[in-house]
């Protein structure tokens, strides 16, 4: 389960009543303090596919479509990035999902006897 961190934020506002609004204090000029919980978003991680000399391009496209729900054109473009640049970003996820995707892709590659490597790094 994702750890959500909360922080307290104080918001100072002048009480100005408008037509149809109820003021939050008795005095129109009073400055009030509202406290609001604010959720901090979890860190994001890039899931990368790394190039090797043995994994066929079609298999990389299959992985991108099966595990990352990419359309054919997107999968082809990422596969070309992997081939030409040495690595390609398959997706950006929170930690737990990124770890799961890396594990699934690496297991699938091993089952199909390909050395394709999938890793993750903090964005």
Instruction: Say yes or no: 51 and 73 in one domain.
Output: yes
Q: How many domains does the chain have?
A: 2
Instruction: Say yes or no: 112 and 66 in one domain.
Output: yes
Instruction: Say yes or no: 32 and 51 in one domain.
Output: no
> 48-68 burial string, b = 16+ CB within 10 Å, else e?
bbebeeebeeebbbebbeebb
Helix-strand-coil percent breakdown of the chain, rounded to 5? 35, 35, 30
Closest CA to 91 of 48, 42, 41, 43: 48
Instruction: Say yes or no: 53 and 96 in one domain.
Output: yes
pLDDT over 70, % of the chain: 71
Which pLDDT belongs to residue 26? 54
Which position has the higher pLDDT, 39 or 98? 98
Query: Could you list the residue range(s) of the whole structural domain that residue 35 is in?
Result: 5-40
Q: Residue 48 pLDDT more than 80?
A: yes
Which pLDDT belongs to residue 9? 46
Place of tokens 């964005």: 123
pLDDT over 90, % of the chain: 68
């Amino acid at each position: 389960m994702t750890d959500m961190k909360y922080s307290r934020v104080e918001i100072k506002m002048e009480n100005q009543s408008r037509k149809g609004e109820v003021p939050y204090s008795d005095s129109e000029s009073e400055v009030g303090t509202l406290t609001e919980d604010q959720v901090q978003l979890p860190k994001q991680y890039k899931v990368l596919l790394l190039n090797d000399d043995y994994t066929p391009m079609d298999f990389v496209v299959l992985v991108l479509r099966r595990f990352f729900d990419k359309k054919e054109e997107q999968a082809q473009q990422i596969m070309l990035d992997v081939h030409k640049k040495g690595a390609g970003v398959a997706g950006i996820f929170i930690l737990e999902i990124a770890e799961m995707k890396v594990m699934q892709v690496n297991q699938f590659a091993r089952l199909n006897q390909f050395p394709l490597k999938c890793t993750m790094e903090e964005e």
